[in-house]
Amino acid sequence: ILQHPDGTVLKQLQPPPRGPREQEFYNKVYDSNCCDSVLLELREYLPKYFGVWSPPTAPNDTYLKLEDVTRKFNKPCIMDVKIGQKSYDPYASAEKIQQQVSKYPLMEEIGFLVLGMRVYHVSSDSYETQNQHYGRSLTKETVKEGISKFFHNGYCLRKDAIAASIRKVEKILEWFEGQEQLNFYASSLLFVYEGSCQATTVRLSDVTLAEKRGVPKGLLSSGDILEYNNNIHVINATENGKIEASVSKGLSKFYALHKKAYSKRPHSQLSLKVEALEQDVWKSSTCIAQEHLNGNVLPQLEKVFCHMPAELKETPAVEVRMIDFAHVFPSNTKDEGYIYGLKNLITVLQNILDN
């Protein structure tokens, strides 16, 4: 995949019949005269399509010009999951079928295959990458653990990203349950979520919680905003005493400002929840001080921030899009293989979330 200067990505057209078939699929879905409600809804789950492109120096090379789904992310965590019980299409030769089945014999039973992932770890400010061999090594017993690796940032499990991913996959499942026009083989879901340090902030001016990107270094900000920086290595690089004083002083100031702000306004249901949460933050500061930051600071901070009530969080930056359409064929029945894979994947994600 190449990047075009205008922010799109370029996927080189595969040799016939795969390349022309994928191009035809995109042309059909994104036809300006399209009035088919099924296809119009399908656009929501695909990268936007901007036609084909050829470089001036090689006019015979053709590329599909597509939306870069990762562009809005600072540190995108990306996973490619092939969906369906069969990774070969109805016209595949016996040799091709054998080749595909041998790559992952469990495909029919599990209904999906992790083709690769790239996960940002905030502790080391680096990515961990797994290729297709990792996905093919997963069994029925280990697939849950294998996928949960994608949602772990080195400090805690990103349950917010899992929950948002489930909702998006469920929408795609709804589309498949309601259409009998197309069957998809060897097609994938692309999962993307923001892996960079997203601070949880409490703004006393409007008593709202938000998730920020590009957080300045340091555990606590000055003024009326409390920030939790996932880059805990800052703690390790600073003297314990200084941090303890910073946490205690910062939280004291934060709590005093909070009480002052609340004395000026009526308590709404949300404000009461925020206040209760902030009381927990205040209590936790005492725990942190008493522990002398002897290695227990991370669990304390995670307790307060990583498991914040869902209703107090903004929806995290998450995308789930369908990609790879070299094996899409007209049909007059539901795509049961794809539906089976989606349901199994949702079950695995839900199990990770619940446990």
Report the C-alpha gap between 104 and 99 in whole angstroms: 9
* Residue ranges of domains in the chain: 1-68, 69-198+314-354
Task: Looking at the chain, list the stretches that DSSP marks H as alpha helix, in order from N- to C-terminal side.
Answer: 18-29, 37-42, 94-103, 107-110, 132-136, 143-148, 159-177, 233-236, 240-262, 269-291, 297-305, 336-354
Neighbour count for residue 51 (Cβ, 10 Å): 12
Averaged pLDDT, groups of 10, the chain, 355 residues long: 94 97 98 98 98 95 97 97 96 96 97 98 95 97 98 95 98 98 98 78 34 39 34 37 42 42 43 44 41 47 46 72 98 98 98 95
- Please name the amino acid found at residue 94: A
Tokens of residue 278, six digits: 């902030």
CA distances in angstroms from 120 to 18, 64, 144, 237, 283, listed in the order given: 33, 28, 19, 21, 31
Side-by-side strand order, sheet with 112-121: 126-130, 112-121, 76-83, 187-194, 318-323
Fold held by 69-198+314-354: D-amino Acid Aminotransferase; Chain A, domain 1 (3.30.470)
- The predicted pLDDT at position 211 comes to 38
**Dihedral angle, C-alpha 198, 203, 209, 215, nearest 10 °:** 0
Report the C-alpha gap between 228 and 218 in whole angstroms: 8
Cβ partners under 8 Å of residue 56, min gap 6? none
CA 240 to chain centre: 34
Helices and strands: H and E segment counts in the chain? 12, 14
Residue with tokens 């999962």: 191
Report the C-alpha gap between 220 and 291 in whole angstroms: 18
Report the C-alpha gap between 124 and 198 in whole angstroms: 15
**Dihedral angle, C-alpha 339, 34, 327, 45, nearest 10 °:** -50
Report the C-alpha gap between 219 and 300 in whole angstroms: 13
- The predicted pLDDT at position 316 comes to 78
Helix H or strand E segment including 42: helix 37-42
